[in-house]
Structure 1
């Protein structure tokens, strides 16, 4: 496995700046975000990555498949088809899928007086139904969908998949080259069945993302990710389990943290490399 910079860790960097930063720091891969790719331009982003000789370890993100109502659901499927096409153009190892929360619940916004569904089982059913459509589309374009279970505190607004077991179960009807899972330490470190499920996922692990779980969490829990070694996660056994399961892809560092975003991105990447060797792999 080798280290990859997820673009969100250095949020201030454009695609061009992130690509240049990876080259300067000797990284071989970068994880890109659709918003920044659109701002740079898809064709230009493809050229930048290829000219630099980098791999695209992932494209973030597809998903949000639980939109209420027929037109909204169709719009979500259409957007995910576009995301799959973008991932194919970039040659991304996978398209990360954050599947969406309860229908009508918007991340970071108060609940509305109407239009919010509390049917959790139904929302998970919507995700399964959407996969029936998108998996074939992705497979025809050589793109692997990577279902990302998120920590249960995000269940209502971002992802009704909260455990790796749920994500693996959804994958099983499809070929492993079409649908896999993301193992993100921030989201799964707490799971008492984590190591069993990593082994069960096996070659369906499409992405391994690392960052730490801070204590205490900030008021905005979305920004509770920390540099490896600054929180409570024991990385070595998770990394060992992912490796033993057969994963040989890139290891992305993906951090949402206001202080890290405000810091010098070059210093962030230098620290990231050092902590990866000291904390994640033990080298």
Structure 2
């Protein structure tokens, strides 16, 4: 029996996000028209569409380069952070020894390391991938360690009463319980991986949407810069909602036990 007071699922999943996007674009357009803002400072949506129509192939090519750097960095950071979190969670002593150092390293501004990466790795795509890894590695690591250490005590006692080994307890109890927390880290890291790739591209603006933004700023072509920013926003939303969809497939019970 369905609750007639609740809105249809399609409206909730598709209609509301679409309506929110339209309202934001309308507000943006209204501000530029009412205040008479020049396109040099804040282009209106039609100006951005016009800039995109000038070089659509070029923009998509640069977006593909940034997307590749982002996804490679995000994938490497995800695998590495989860594996390291599992190793640290296997021993409470090791976790307590290393976590202060991890917190300290995470506090180092990654932007300050961008010039050093160019020296260590060189002016190539690997430096941009490394910057993406650095920005999204620690949120995934911390979220995974938090999830693995938050298993309810009664579940651990139940596993021990059934003579489950450490590995069986980890696979059947600790990891499933940690998955919602892990996905929080993954969803946060999607945007950070894009930011990392863009920081690397701005340091060496040859390829990618970062180079489009940099060159547009030098040529005072603000609408073209906003076209690149729009593609970055679409990319970020796509990566975020891909993690949301994966979470719903792998952790369907998480929504049932949350408010």
**Superposition TM-score, scaled by structure 1 size:** 0.25
Structure with greater helix percent = 2
**Superposition TM-score, scaled by structure 2 size:** 0.27
More contact order relative to length (CA 8 Å, sep ≥ 6): 2
